Amino acid sequence: MDPKVINRKDARGVPVSSCTPQSLDHYETALYRFQSYFGDPTEVLAEALKEDPEFVMGHVFNASAMLMMSERQYLPAIVDSIRAAEDLSHKANDRERLMTRAARQWMEGDWTGACVTWDRVLADHPTDALALQCGHLTDFYTGDSVNLRDRVGRVIGRWNKDMPGYSYVLGMQAFGFEECNHFERAEETARAALAIEPRDGWSVHAAVHVMEMQNRYQEGQRFLREREDDWAPDNGFAFHNWWHLALFHMEEGDFAGALALYDQQILPEPSDVSLQLVDASALLWRLTLQGVDTASRWKTLADLWSDKTATENGYYAFNDLHAIMALVGAGRIDEAREVRAAVKVAATINPTLTRAMSEQVGLPACDGFIAFAEGRYEDAVDALLPIRSIANRFGGSNAQRDVLTQTLLSSAIRAGNAGLAANLVGERTVHKPFSPLTKRFAKQQGGIVATERAA
């Protein structure tokens, strides 16, 4: 590093080089936006870099924030940001060079390598909020529940409540606990975070995941509604918490309420954000499995996905599957097969981790959903049954991946496979014995048995 470079520290004591005091202020604002989802962090970074083009962490942060959108469309801008940071490496400190390396690894498809590099950063700088959150989100994208819990656990002892962003660190830890089925600790940690920062939407999200897993759907509705003024207005993550509220409505059979949330909150206007379209697809698919008429919503959603598929097909298998849901929901099987073909290519040419996501889970999942849409229910069972225990490998949460089990169960019922349907209903009954949704599936499964007995 150039000995003439002025080193400063952020509000958590992490070293930042080559910046003016104003750039560091912009960095703190961007970090708050990244953690809270209130506002666009790249917008404030653009202002910082306009004033201070040699601000290394501005370029690194820009690349990292865009990478976390999990979309190929941002790659040109990401490449530009990474190259700018690399060109300034002589002005960077060791931490910043590692952060630049992690961004390049992620961009090139080595997501595991990026997580290891962020761990190296956190070993020396355990309060590096950017490295921690990027690692956490990547753990989510790869379905790595152990590291969702333990990446935060490795550093949480070096944080304290007086540090900016501490509530968001607790929120990440809470979500990790939940994904590892430590429900009591998860809820306790989420509520501790909310006691510090009531507007922490990620901690709200962690708490409602617990309520989803424990089938506390009425309490979940109250919790979200009572806190709505904190997590909902002007928040870029709100659509996902609205999705959770819709699931609670759907659980008790209030399909009209779930559709109203879809129309008013989850996808109230056209969007090109894959994370938002994923939730829209997942909700409409679950409703369709329950026999709900979703009217023209599938067509509108399929159009939005279709606008993206030429760029996004094969980039991230979890997104690909949800694009297929929308396309087959709208009856556009040929387009769905084009997405499936891109996933097959990704399963052979992508970097190691994303190739495995596509090969081991993405491709059979796509096959299963296309088969279901075509009425080939035994084929859907054959595709989906083997991947249930490894579905975490292509990302998402336990709640999100439940769409695979629900589709498998519906396929077994429609194929007349009474034994498998009974086993899957029995499994859901163990986990959620008082679930109205489970009881609806049990009633459908019971119809198979009654038909067989009558025959």
pLDDT at 447 exceeding the cut of 60: yes
pLDDT digits (tens, 9 = 90+) for 328-340: 999 999 999 999 9
The overall average pLDDT reported for the chain is: 94
pLDDT digits (tens, 9 = 90+) for 88-119: 999 999 999 999 999 999 999 999 999 999 99
Query: Among 19-28, 70-79, 161-170, 390-399, which stretch is predicted with the lowest mean pLDDT?
Result: 19-28
pLDDT at 174 exceeding the cut of 60: yes
pTM score: 0.94
Position 455 scores a pLDDT of 43
CB 139 within 8 A of CB 151: yes
Position 27 scores a pLDDT of 95
Strands 15-17 and 7-9: antiparallel
425 closest CA partner among 414, 437, 415, 416: 437
Position 205 scores a pLDDT of 97
Position 6 scores a pLDDT of 58
Per-residue confidence at 178, pLDDT binned at 50, 70, 90? very high
Position 351 scores a pLDDT of 79
Position 430 scores a pLDDT of 93
pLDDT at 248 exceeding the cut of 80: yes
pLDDT at 4 exceeding the cut of 70: no
Position 387 scores a pLDDT of 97
6 closest CA partner among 61, 56, 45, 59: 56
Position 330 scores a pLDDT of 97
Mean pLDDT of 183-199: 98
pLDDT digits (tens, 9 = 90+) for 264-280: 999 999 999 999 999 99
| Cα torsion angle, 127, 131, 136, 139, sign | negative
